[in-house]
Amino acid sequence: MATVTVEQVRKSFAGREVLAKLDLVMSEGELVCLLGPSGCGKTTLLRIIAGFISPDAGSVVVAGTNVTHLSPRARRMGMVFQSYSLFPNMTAVENVKFGPRVAGRPKAEQDSRAKELLDLVGLSQHGSKYPHQLSGGQQQRVALARALAVQPQVLLLDEPLSALDAKVRVQLRDEIRRIQRETGVTTVLVTHDQEEALSISDRVAVMNAGRLLQVASPAAIYRDPADGFVARFIGAGAVLPGMAEGQTVRMGALVLPAWAAANHANGAKVELLLRPEVVTFSALDGDVPPGGVAGEVRESVFLGALTRLRMSVAAVPELSIWSDLPSEEAEALKIGRRVVASWDPARPRVVAA
């Protein structure tokens, strides 16, 4: 268990900057998800931490030791790859034993360690199977056990769930979290799936184009995105560009109430974030009430207790606003119905554009 500090790390491939002066500090036993669109540099950062890539500048410090120039072998980090990384010529047990074996641990210790870890990932029955005899989810469990068998200071997972189908994914995700809590190993998990990141991390690190945009708890990221990119990338809802004007955001002729706009200078370019749970749609037959935005229902997605409606704004038809309503209420608002969107002006966030 160890703290991990990534300091001012930079990396370019063939003159193209992939990581730009990146800093990340993780405390002991923490699970941080690197979240970002494909190609933003997540894998590169993870592989720099693991030691497969050396950074052009900056350092990686683990438990107070600078490991930047250590080989991957010497770093004591467990790594789980996207898929098919199990040694095909070894059974599940042999795979798990591999680390202790090359470290020259006594046979008895290898065996007990492998057994313990296969138990931990719930595969004690499948120890003697070869990788091709295991399902994708089982293979990733073995890979996890194998990575943990070296008692790593840090566990690194690069999109370990992306090759699995939806149901297995959720199961294994929860299990990774449980095992991570039980072992208390400091963990970095790379993903491009926001739901995955929000559901299992202590903190989420949102990346784009080689930069860390925000590192915070899932709730904070959701509630308080640092900028428009994070707001768009995490959660649903509308992100509307406009201009701060007192306690409103002005978009052309529309004036949208949001107290948070007062935190920005008048005339500053801002973006207004309207989450579906903040917005209410109601049927509109007469005039538009003050602070409301008129529009027409365009889409309705039943989610169980809630139904998510989308309306297009009458004044600017390319703009959409979403609202989650209790399904009974939503039933009355058929597609094509004229509605007005309204919200408590205290709730929406306003970020600098």
Partner 1 sequence: MKAPIAWLFIGAFIAVSATFLVAPTVMLAIQAFSDDDGWTFQYLLDLQQYRYWVAFQHSLQLSVASATVGVVAGALIAFAMLKSATPRWLNQAVTSFSAVAANFAGVPLAFAFVSTIGSLGLLTNLLKRAGIDLYGMGFSLFSITGLTVVYSYFQIPLMVIVITPAIQALRPAWREAAENLGASGGEYWRHVGLPVLAPSLLAGWILLFGSAFSAYATAYALTSGNIGLVTTEIANVLSGNVASEPQIGAALSVGMIVVMVAVLGLSTWLTKRASRWVKQV
Ligand X SMILES: Nc1ncnc2c1ncn2[C@@H]1O[C@H](COP(=O)(O)OP(=O)(O)O)[C@@H](O)[C@H]1O
Q: Where on the chain is the footprint of partner 1 (CB under 8 A)? A: 50, 52, 71-73, 76-79, 81-82, 84-91, 98-99, 101-103, 130-132, 143, 146-147, 149-150
Partner whose binding site includes residue 40, from partner 1, Mg ion, ligand X, none (CB under 5 to 8 Å by kind): ligand X
Residue given tokens 């406009």 in the structure block: 242
Residue 212, interface with ligand X (CB under 6 A)?
Answer: no
Under the binding rule (CB under 6 A), the answer on residue 160 touching ligand X is no
Binding region for ligand X (CB under 6 A) out of 13-21, 251-259, 291-299, 300-308: 13-21
- Measure the CA–CA gap between 135 and 164, rounded to whole angstroms: 9
Cα–Cα distance measured from residue 147 to residue 120, given in angstroms and rounded to the nearest whole number: 13
Nearest to ligand X by Cβ — which residue?
A: 43
From candidates 40, 67, 96, 121, binder to ligand X by CB under 6 A: 40
Residue of the chain from 30, 35, 43, 99 that contacts ligand X (CB under 6 A): 43
Closer residue to ligand X in complex, CB, 215/311: 215
CA neighbours closer than 13 Å in the CB half-sphere of residue 303: 13
Please report how close the Cβ of residue 44 comes to ligand X at its closest, in angstroms.
3
Contact call for residue 52 and ligand X (CB under 6 A): no
Interface with Mg ion (CB under 5 A), residue total 1
Binding span for Mg ion by CB under 5 A among 39-47, 231-239, 244-252, 291-299: 39-47
Q: Does 49 bind ligand X (CB under 6 A)?
A: no
To which H or E segment does residue 274 belong?
A: strand 269-274
Tokens of 169: 């994914």
The Cα 306–Cα 283 span in angstroms is 17
**Given candidates 2, 4, 18, 49, which one binds ligand X under the rule CB under 6 A?**
18
The interface with ligand X within residues 123-152 (CB under 6 A) comprises none
Burial track 122-144 (b if 16+ CB lie within 10 A, e otherwise)? ebeebbebebeebebbbbbbbbb
- Residue 79 partner contact from partner 1, Mg ion, ligand X, none using kind-dependent CB cut-offs of 5 to 8 Å: partner 1
- CB-hemisphere CA count at 13 Å for 291? 12
Task: Give, as ranges, the residues between 40 and 69 that touch Mg ion (CB under 5 A).
Answer: 43
Residue 300 to residues 307, 314, 334, Cα–Cα distance (Å): 7, 18, 8
Of 34, 4, 57, which is closest to residue 207 (Cα–Cα)? 34
Among 15, 38, 104, 106, binds ligand X (CB under 6 A): 38
Q: Based on the number of CB atoms within 10 Å of its own CB, is 277 exposed (0-12), middle (13-18) or buried (19 or more)?
A: middle
Q: Is residue 208 at the binding interface for Mg ion, with CB under 5 A as the rule?
A: no
End-to-end CA distance of the chain: 39
Which among 38-46, 142-150, 170-178, 261-269 is the span making contact with ligand X, rule CB under 6 A? 38-46
Eight-state DSSP code of residue 202? S
Tell me how far apart the 2 most distant CA atoms of the chain are, in Å: 82
Residues that bind Mg ion (CB under 5 A): 43
Residues that bind ligand X (CB under 6 A): 13-14, 18, 36, 38-44
